Amino acid sequence: MTLQLGDVVPDFQQASSMGDISFHEWAGDSWVILFSHPADYTPVCTTELGEVARLKPEFDKRNVKVLALSVDDAESHKGWINDINETQSCSVNYPILADGDRKVSDLYGMIHPNSLNNLTVRSVFIIDPQKKLRLTLTYPASTGRNFPELLRVIDSLQLTDNYQVATPVNWKEGDDVVVVPSISTEEAKQKFPKGVTEVKPYLRMTPQPNQ
């Protein structure tokens, strides 16, 4: 089954570096970033997990839980975490799923045999508190991910869930946003008292409403 945006993501029970996880229960009312790695003790993955540990306060501020996955076992994860902490000057303080039986990898389509045989590619899933899939990205094993971009996407999703706006190209927190096409300019001016600039009838900009 291919997961598509808007789908409720599969629940699962799996071991991790911090004990067994029942995914939907563990996620609770939080957003979740689930991201996979080809294997433990690999160089690009080591830098990625260190960066996520350093960014953990930023994820916490946004009510986001982070959950990594590799097909190695929990004991291997624990040894690798020691290396990550040492080499990346961090403290890995989130769980890494031990998906030795490929149960989660298969559920979420993380194994692409024509890319990496029996190993997970660099998949990313952003999941909202209703357990719905909101974003998916897949990177090749040779390319490390850009986690500040994932924070930017979460900022956009959380903003646009609450206001009738969308975020334009290269948007970042504090920039102007786009008024969605489904409301008229007159209605937009009432909803967004900071002002609405009509560039074209279909392209209206307004300051970020929650700033």
Residue pLDDT, tens place only, 114-151: 555 556 567 899 999 999 999 999 888 888 999 999 99
User: What number of other Cβ atoms are within 10 A of residue 97's Cβ?
Assistant: 26
Is residue 34 within 8 Å of 122, Cβ to Cβ?
no
* Annotation: CATH topology of 163-206: Antioxidant, Horf6; Chain A, domain 2 (3.30.1020)
As given in the structure block, the two tokens for residue 106 are: 């298969």
Is residue 181 within 8 Å of 204, Cβ to Cβ?
no
Is residue 136 within 8 Å of 187, Cβ to Cβ?
no
Q: Mind listing the pLDDT tens digit for each residue in 165-198?
A: 999 999 999 999 999 999 999 999 999 999 999 9
Is residue 135 within 8 Å of 125, Cβ to Cβ?
yes
The SS3 assignment for 158 reads: helix
Q: Of all helices (H) and strands (E), which one includes residue 200? A: strand 197-200
Active-site positions?
45
Q: Mind listing the pLDDT tens digit for each residue in 65-92?
A: 999 999 888 899 999 999 999 999 999 9
Quickly list DSSP for 31-74: EEEEEE-S-SS-HHHHHHHHHHHHHHHHHHHTTEEEEEEESS-H
Q: Where are the domains of the chain?
A: 7-145, 163-206
Looking at beta carbons, which pairs linking 141-146 to residues 24 or more positions away fall under 8 Å?
A: 141/38, 141/44, 141/115, 141/116, 142/44, 143/44, 144/44, 144/47, 144/48, 145/35, 145/48
CATH number of 7-145: 3.40.30.10
Q: Mind listing the pLDDT tens digit for each residue in 16-43?
A: 999 999 999 999 999 999 999 878 898 9
Q: Is the pLDDT at 211 greater than 90, yes or no?
A: no
Q: Phi and psi of 107, rounded to 5°?
A: -60, -40
Query: From CA 4, how far away is CA 1, in angstroms rounded?
Result: 9
Position 118 scores a pLDDT of 56
Position 89 scores a pLDDT of 97
Query: From CA 60, how far away is CA 151, in angstroms rounded?
Result: 11
Indicate the pTM of the whole model.
Answer: 0.92
Q: Phi and psi of 135, rounded to 5°?
A: -155, 145
